[in-house]
Chains A and B, each alone.
Chain A
Amino acid sequence: MKELKSEVSGFVVSLEAKAGDEIAAGQVVLLVESMKMEVPVEAQMAGTLEEILVGEGDSVAEGDVVAHVREA
């Protein structure tokens, strides 16, 4: 199981995938708004999105784990 982390502080504007989805490497899983920009959190590897730990509107800090991916 790999952890997906947000590289920036901000709040979650949208979830772009849902738990159980098969995702590709580089696919955007969710967007964090920071400095008026939507910063993507991308999967580093292909796999199954096991769970998303945050919801829209939640605030996240830099380095927070936001999702778990099971490697393909």
Chain B
Amino acid sequence: MTSKDDEGGSGEPRPDLAEVLDAKAATLDDNRPEALAKRARTGHWTARANIAALLDEKTFQEYGQLARPAFDLRVGPADGLVMGLGSVAGQSVAVAAYDYTVHAGTQATINHAKSDRMMHIVERLRLPFVFWTEGGGWRPHENNISARDFEETFAMMAKLSGQVPTLGIVAGRCFAGNANVAGLCDTLIATRKAALGMAGPPLVESALGLKLTPEELGPPEVHEASGAVDIVVEDEAEAIEVARLYLSYFSDERTPGEAPDPMALRDIVPENPRRAYDVRKVIEGVADVGSVLELRPRFGRAAVTALIKIAGRPVGVLANQPMFLAGAMDSPACDKLARFIQLCDAHDIPMLFLCDTPGLMVGPEVEATALVRHSSRILTAAVNATVPFMTVVLRKAYGLGYYMMGSLPLNPALLVAWPTAEFGAMGLEGAVKITHKQELDAIDDQKTRLARERELADEIRARNTALQVAARYEYDDVIDPADTRDVVLKFLNALPPTPPRTGRKRTIDNW
């Protein structure tokens, strides 16, 4: 075919275009049956399938589709990293996914150059960034290229902290450099098939003589409990669903969701003060139906952190969980709360504290975990946050635990209590042991002494009911629990518009 024949447009691409189209087509899943079969055998999705499932149809502008491995002899479409821009429910985002069918998703000279460029674009355009990080770390076959000394991938990922929301998804084996990328994300999702760790089996075997499979080294159950992973999901499809929900908290979309039944809130806190309850029910009771995304549910379980929406508006909830340690705050719970405050503050998501804590956890075991330091992180995060927050005291509000859970000195925009609120500057039983030491020491019979202790504590308790504390104006209001959602909405309505941001407000601690 000559160029002359093409005049007038036959619809057939000319050879120059055809060559490009063929090169591009060769990178697509349909034209890579062997790679596809490999993924199917292990029950994993391809990088392209993940991206296609997340993005709105026909919105993907790929970057570096025609890139190839640095060594001519090695094949590898896109050098094993599929990336670009697109939109999710109309919101512009950037995405990147290591391709496990290309040299086990390894990081290499050319794909480092690609990811570096992507992250510079993410920074400049201020786009939320979703990164599927499955892969085996550095590709050792490229060891004689010193690219590793120049690549910025990890440094850039760290630099994005607090500038744009970053979300990592681990749906397979993810070790070394790939795991480092995961660890640098604001939030991390892992599927049941994930295996995650800083050093993979070959390194573990040579250093420690231990023969382990990747799945034995870093299964999702371990990371769920350790707090390394924020959300464990069943499979890739659920990961996409959760990713869409996660991105929605950072979107300008504000369509109000369905309100839950408000009356249910009246009966959640039991009349019996010793009876625990699941604080998740309170969160469900104020949030739009289906809008609750809990982060790190199996870690630091004496606290609950969740992103929710109220009338379509994003809110970060920080709650004590009376089901665990009676809601007493241990080091993991403090770490979880402190980090979540930073996440909300960095991305201007207003916060809601739900307080029901007997205070910080006590005892030699918890002191040995450096609670002195871990608990302090909450205050440093909260006091220096500029995003507004409000507090609801549900029941117990004791000691420094309450101080940290959004009390008056932290300057909440609104501080209210439920009728069940209790207050004490420290645990009441402990307090009377000090204030009435002589009287109590004089009682020989242990039972009588305990009864007197309880009586004294009850006297103080009676002086610190919700109404008593409100009379001293230490709460802005005591509310009907059924009105809680409306009260939070009034708080949200009172907030000024979020000032436009051009830079970073704060970084987000990786832990």
Chain A contacts to B: CB under 8 angstroms:
7-8, 31, 34-40
Contact = CB atoms under 8 A, between A and B. Distances in A.
Contacts of B28: none
A38 B275 contact: yes
B326 A35 contact: yes
A40 B275 contact: yes
B326 A34 contact: yes
A7 B322 CA distance: 12
Interface residues of B, number: 11
A39 B325 contact: no
Contacts, number: 27
Given A34-B326, A37-B276, A38-B272, 6 more contacts: A7-B324, A34-B276, A35-B325, A37-B275, A39-B276, A40-B275
Contacts of B325: 34-35
A40 B276 CA distance: 7
Contacts of A34: 276, 325-326
B371 to A, nearest CB: 16
B328 A35 contact: yes
A37 B327 CA distance: 10
A9 to B, nearest CB: 10
A7 B272 CA distance: 20
- By Cβ-Cβ distance, the 8 closest A-B pairs, closest first, are A35-B326, A37-B326, A39-B276, A37-B276, A38-B275, A35-B325, A38-B274, A39-B323
Contacts of B63: none
A40 B277 CA distance: 7
A35 B356 CA distance: 14
Contacts of A7: 323-324
B274 A36 contact: yes
A68 B141 CA distance: 55
A37 B325 CA distance: 8
Interface in B328-349: 328
Contacts of B277: 40
A35 B275 CA distance: 11
26 contacts: A7-B323, A7-B324, A8-B323, A8-B324, A31-B275, A34-B276, A34-B325, A34-B326, A35-B325, A35-B326, A35-B328, A36-B274, A36-B326, A37-B274, A37-B275, A37-B276, A37-B322, A37-B326, A38-B272, A38-B274, A38-B275, A38-B276, A39-B276, A40-B275, A40-B276, A40-B277
A51 to B, nearest CB: 24
Nearest to A13: B274
A39 B290 CA distance: 26
Contacts of A38: 272, 274-276
B420 to A, nearest CB: 14
A37 to B, nearest CB: 4
Contacts of B323: 7-8, 39
Most chain A CB within 10 A, of B277, B322, B326, is at B326
Interface string B261-280: 00000000000101111000
A58 B319 CA distance: 30
Contacts of B322: 37
Nearest to B429: A36
Nearest to B301: A7
Contacts of B328: 35
A36 B325 CA distance: 9
